[in-house]
Amino acid sequence: VRELLAHEALERSSVVANSAMNRERGLSGVNSYAKELGFEPLELLRSRLEAGRPAAWLDLCCGRGRALIQAAQALDRGGLADRVLLHGVDLVPMFDPVPAGLPSLRLEAASLFVWSAPQRYDLITCIHGLHYLGDKLELLRRALSWLEPDGCFAASFDLRSLRGADGASLDREVGRRLRAAGVRIDTRRRLVTADGPCAPELPYRYLGADAAAGPNYTGQAAVDSYYELLPVSMGSSIANRS
């Protein structure tokens, strides 16, 4: 019998509270955000700033916050640190030391089950974070609503970690619903991206998380998330939540 965990128990589980997971990705290079994303986040921020616009980057499950710290340093060196916000959120406050004089940087320890964005962002990333969350679809839905109108969203996401109550994979039907809302799914990179906010119709009730699902494509133990499809009328009221 599969034991499905609620949020608090999941966060205490050895899979999530694992100090050995890779929280070390930097901005570019071998072990980096640029490698996972297929683009340089710094270039995206720079192009906005050079066009005289503000640039706010929210990194969900930011780990040590290394990529954000490096971005803050690079923008500061280039005299572009005004009008910038680099905001990281992670359950575990294992952040790298923050050098003095980087007011654009905000690293916050919080559970994404309860955290809510205080503003909209131009770039929202979640690199290898959704693997450890319980209600992945709810975080995805909320994060997509936190984008500026021309903002960019990118998250590592293995849709095979979504399961119905009978254990069958929901990857195809959730994939269809996400694509219908304009979300792109790169199955090779296992990356979902979106340009601008969108509200996919995801009429599912979260049932709980399986922290004993075993390794996913990364080779690391990850969490499967269980859902049941809601009847049409309930689904539409859930999809309309703000």
Ligand X SMILES: C[S@@+](CC[C@H](N)C(=O)[O-])C[C@H]1O[C@@H](n2cnc3c(N)ncnc32)[C@H](O)[C@@H]1O
Residues found near ligand X in the complex (CB under 6 A): 11, 16, 21-25, 61-63, 90-92, 111-113, 127-129, 132-133
With the CA atoms of 215, 217, 223 and 224 taken in that order, what torsion angle do they form, in degrees rounded to the nearest 10?
A: -110
Backbone angles phi, psi at 195, to 5 degrees: -105, 110
Burial class (CB in 10 A: 0-12, 13-18, 19+), 207: middle
Provide Rg for the chain, Cα atoms: 18
- Shortest distance (Å) from residue 176 CB to ligand X: 27
Q: Which is nearer to ligand X, 115 or 207 (CB)?
A: 115
* SS3 of residue 204 by DSSP: strand
- Return the closest-CA partner of residue 134 out of 194, 24, 36, 222: 222
Q: Which is nearer to ligand X, 11 or 122 (CB)?
A: 11
Six-digit token string for 167: 């254990």
Residue showing the smallest CB distance to ligand X in the complex: 63
Backbone angles phi, psi at 155, to 5 degrees: -140, 140
Q: Which is nearer to ligand X, 129 or 203 (CB)?
A: 129
- Shortest distance (Å) from residue 89 CB to ligand X: 6
63 sits in which H/E element: none
Q: Which is nearer to ligand X, 85 or 223 (CB)?
A: 223
- Shortest distance (Å) from residue 153 CB to ligand X: 15
State the chain's maximal CA–CA distance in angstroms: 58
- Shortest distance (Å) from residue 31 CB to ligand X: 8
- Shortest distance (Å) from residue 26 CB to ligand X: 8
Q: Which is nearer to ligand X, 92 or 185 (CB)?
A: 92
- Shortest distance (Å) from residue 191 CB to ligand X: 13
With the CA atoms of 193, 34, 213 and 172 taken in that order, what torsion angle do they form, in degrees rounded to the nearest 10?
A: 30
Q: Which is nearer to ligand X, 104 or 225 (CB)?
A: 225
